[in-house]
Amino acid sequence: MAVAKLVLAATSGKSSKILLGLRVLAFLATLSAAIVMGLNKETKTFVVGNVGNTPIKATFTAKFQHTPAFVYFVVANAMVSFHNLLMIALQLFGGKTELTGFRLLSVAILDMLNVTLISAAANAAAFMAEVGKNGNKHARWDKICDRFATYCDHGAGALIAAFTGVVLMLIISAVSISRLVQPNKCSISTTAATPSVVP
C-alpha cells in the first residue's frame, strides 16, 4: 500500500522532501478548489410565463453564496491551503529551526485537524451538489443542474480538486505522525546531510 511505503520512507532522511512535495500538491489542490468554487456564478434569463403574446423574462443567478455548504467549502479550503502554505514556508525558510518535541507534535496535531476540516467540507459540498444534480422526489426539490449547467460543472471541478486534497492531506498526516515515532531530532533544512544519531 502506498501509505505503508511512505511511512517506511519516513524513517530515513528523505521524509522531509516527500512531505514538502505532498504539501505543495495539497496546497495547489485546495487553493484551486477554493478559487474555482469562490468564482462560481452563473446568470441566466428564463421565460417564466406569457402575458398574451409577449413572453415574460426573468433573470436568475446561481451563486455559491446561496448554499451554506458551499460557503463552508470555500472557507475551509482556504484555511487548509493557508495551513499548507505556512508549513511549506516553515520548511523552506525556517533555516536551522529544530523540529523537536512540542513543535513536531503541534505540526502532527494541526495536520490531523486539517484532515478532518477538509474532509467535512468536501463531503458537505458533495452531498449538497448531489441534491442539486438529482433533486429529491420525496421533499419535492427540483434539480437545478439542467438549467445551470456551467455552474454545476465548475462545482464538480472544485469538488474533484477538494477530494484530491483530502487524500493528500490524509497521506501528509500519516507521514507527520510517523515522524513522531522516530525519537531522533530532524531539523527542517531540506538537505539531510548529517545522519541523525539515535540516543
Partner 1 sequence: MVKLTKRIGALVLRLVAFGAALAALIVMVTSRERASFFAVSLEAKYTDMAAFKYFVIANAVVSVYSFLVMFLPKESLLWKFVVVLDLVMTMLLTSSLSAALAVAQVGKKGNANAGWLPICGQVPKFCDQVTGALIAGFVALVLYVLLLLYSLHSVVDPFLLQKS
Which residue from 115, 158, 159, 171 is in contact with partner 1, where contact means CB under 8 A? 115
Kindly tell me which of 28 and 124 has the beta carbon lying closer to partner 1.
124
154 phi-psi bin (left φ>0, alpha ψ -120 to 50, beta other): alpha
Q: From CA 8, how far away is CA 80, in angstroms rounded? A: 26
105-to-75, 92, 96, 100, 183 alpha-carbon distances in Å = 25, 19, 18, 8, 12
The three three-digit cell numbers of residue 113, written as one number:
485537524
Looking at 44-52, 79-87, 153-161, 169-177, which segment touches partner 1 (CB under 8 A)?
169-177
Strand-pairing partners, residue 57, are: 47
By CB under 8 A, tell whether 104 contacts partner 1: yes
Which residue from 122, 161, 172, 175 is in contact with partner 1, where contact means CB under 8 A? 122
Which residue from 46, 55, 101, 153 is in contact with partner 1, where contact means CB under 8 A? 101
Q: From CA 35, how far away is CA 157, in angstroms rounded? A: 11
Applying the rule CB under 8 A, the residues between 127 and 166 that interact with partner 1 are 127-128, 130-132, 136, 138-142, 144
The answer to whether residues 69 and 128 touch, using CB atoms and an 8 Å cutoff, is: yes
Applying the rule CB under 8 A, the residues between 38 and 97 that interact with partner 1 are 60-63, 66-69, 72
Q: Which amino acid is residue 33, in one-letter code?
A: A
Total site size for partner 1, rule CB under 8 A: 45
Which residue from 23, 77, 173, 175 is in contact with partner 1, where contact means CB under 8 A? 173
Which residue from 78, 105, 160, 188 is in contact with partner 1, where contact means CB under 8 A? 105
Smallest distance from partner 1 to CB 157, Å: 19
Q: Which amino acid is residue 32, in one-letter code?
A: S
